[in-house]
A and B are shown apart, each in its own frame.
Chain A
Amino acid sequence: MSSVAAADRDDLVDREVVLRFLLSAAFWLVFAPTIGVILSIKFNYYDFLGNVSWLTWGRLRPVHVMGVIFGAFSTAIVGLTYYMVPRLCGIRMYKENWSRALLWIWNIGLTASLISLPLGQNLGIEAGEFPLWSNIVVEIALIMITIQVLVTVVRRKEPRIYVTLWYLTASYVWTVFNYAFGHFILPYSMPGVNNAAMHGLYIHYVVGLWITPAGLAVIYYFLPLSAKRPLYSHKLSLVGFWSLAFFYPFVGTHHYIYSPIPYWTQTIAIVASMMLIIPVWTVIQNFYGTFVGNWKRFQESYTAKFLIIGALFYLLGCFQGSTEALRGMQRLTHFTDFVIAHSHLTVFGTFILWVTAGMYYVIPRVSGHELYSKSLAQWHYWLTVAGFSVMASVLTLQGLLQGTMLDVGADFVDSMVAMKPYWFARTLAGVTMDIGALLGMWNFYMTVMHGKRIEAPAGAPLASEPQWT
């Protein structure tokens, strides 16, 4: 594979826009998890931050959740979209001037929205909590990016559509509709149990029709490039994409097992959840099949490192999520930290790590600078892996413990007291991950500002491949 030759095609990319989106994503990647750490401290010290209304649990949790989904993950995805799509299509992005406006619309809208949440403006729909004015801004931004992506794909010079483009176009189109559904329809209609059922669908569309396909778009793009090998199987990509598209839309109601929602709809949700084993194991086979024979890239490339560890967490988190939907497991784990373990394993352990991998690949190439510090990257990686491994294990264990205690009739307060050491370990793990993220993002910033130049002048191809990416 001629990677250096392919680097020529960076002339198709609006470098400034990509860099600015990725650096703003770097800010959100530190900010949103930090709010999570602050929240976790409240488990250990219930009066932490006192009784100031805007610092209470109920006000800050949405900042963490929405900040991770729409700040950390989505901002990085938009930046990576502006890098991947032109190179996969062989033409520059449609309406590039929109991208520059969107950078500000997206980040200012997000900032204002995240400030409004602690001030008490909240639609009350989990993962759909931004106020109405903010949702109009986000929806317009999503529509504009979707138009850019679709028109660029339609006008492409590359004859074949690579799997990354399937996932990206699908995720944007699905999300334009799902965002409107969750923010403009759901909060204002469908009272009662119907609303709950639809909310289950909405929240899982955010995960399954936005975060998952957009994250898979990233992995399919950077996997063969970082492994320096051809993708293992186009056939598997087809199976993975269509099985995800077929099964995921039915998953959401598994949040409401043992509820007044009709039994057969719960059964369909359980079956769909379990059937997600098909796309997940398919992606994993494609992933490791690609790396086989070139594992040394794990030592050489931080893109490869983050992709590989993310794939491992993907396998664990998704298997946990599928089996968690079964009625027996739901009975044990519902309302416990087992659910939180699953959401962290998938959203952070998988998709945040995969976009981080993409940033390690793109930032040096687009800035034309070597990665500023291998040592900082090393610290970023190992603090993230160590911290997150502890967090995922602790949350899973405490969830099972909570569920078992309640199942055998233990007093609820006793089950909370038993959690104390686990909650403390979770906070320490979170602090570890946060320090890692801070070092990593500082490394990205310094790469752009002070990294050693590897670029020939006037947009000519890179003189060499950036090291460690």
Chain B
Amino acid sequence: MPDEHKEDSQEINHYEFSGIEERHGKIPKWLGFVYVVMLIWMVYYLVRFWTDKG
């Protein structure tokens, strides 16, 4: 399975008229970690600071 994912992420899309190519690509683990941390922080901050508690 990991190999399949790797192959999938290396798949390349070609855009004929512009000459641009793009990999299907992946989301690096470190960035996924940032997403999770930010989402947890968002929930915390919204709950904690929804109203002015003085």
Q: Which residues of A are interface residues toward B (Cβ below 8 A)? A: 1-3, 5-7, 9, 12, 84, 86-90, 157-158, 160, 162-163, 221, 224-225, 229-237, 239, 263-264, 267-268, 270-271, 274-275, 277-278, 281-282, 285-286, 289, 327
Contact = CB atoms under 8 A, between A and B. Distances in A.
Interface string B25-47: 11110010011001001100110
B17 A89 contact: yes
Contacts of A239: 27, 35
Contacts, number: 117
Question: Chain B binding site: helix, strand, loop or mixed by DSSP?
Answer: mixed
A160 B52 CA distance: 48
Interface size class of B (residues with CB under 8 A): 20 to 34
Which 4 pairs across A and B sit closest by C-beta, in order of nearness?
A6-B19, A233-B25, A231-B22, A230-B21
Contacts of A1: 19-21
Nearest to B12: A230
A287 to B, nearest CB: 13
Main secondary structure on chain A at its contact with chain B? helix
B19 A236 contact: no
B46 A268 contact: yes
A221 B41 CA distance: 33
Given A6-B18, A9-B19, A87-B18, A233 B13 contact: no
10 contacts: A6-B17, A84-B18, A160-B13, A160-B15, A230-B23, A233-B23, A233-B24, A235-B27, A267-B50, A281-B31
B18 A274 contact: no
Contact of B22 (A7, A162, A268, A327): A162
A162 B15 contact: yes
Interface of B: 9, 12-13, 15-28, 31, 34-35, 38, 41-42, 45-46, 49-52
A286 B51 CA distance: 37
Nearest to B8: A235
A294 to B, nearest CB: 13
Nearest to B44: A271
Contacts of A232: 23, 25
Contacts of B17: 6, 9, 12, 86-90, 157-158
Contacts of A86: 17
Nearest to B19: A6
B14 to A, nearest CB: 9
B42 A274 contact: yes
A267 B20 contact: no
Most interface-central of B9, B24, B27 (chain A CB within 10 A): B27
Nearest to A230: B21
B12 to A, nearest CB: 5
Given A160-B15, A236-B27, A274-B38, 18 more contacts: A9-B17, A12-B17, A84-B18, A160-B13, A162-B18, A224-B21, A225-B18, A231-B22, A231-B25, A233-B25, A233-B26, A236-B25, A264-B50, A267-B50, A270-B49, A274-B45, A278-B35, A327-B49
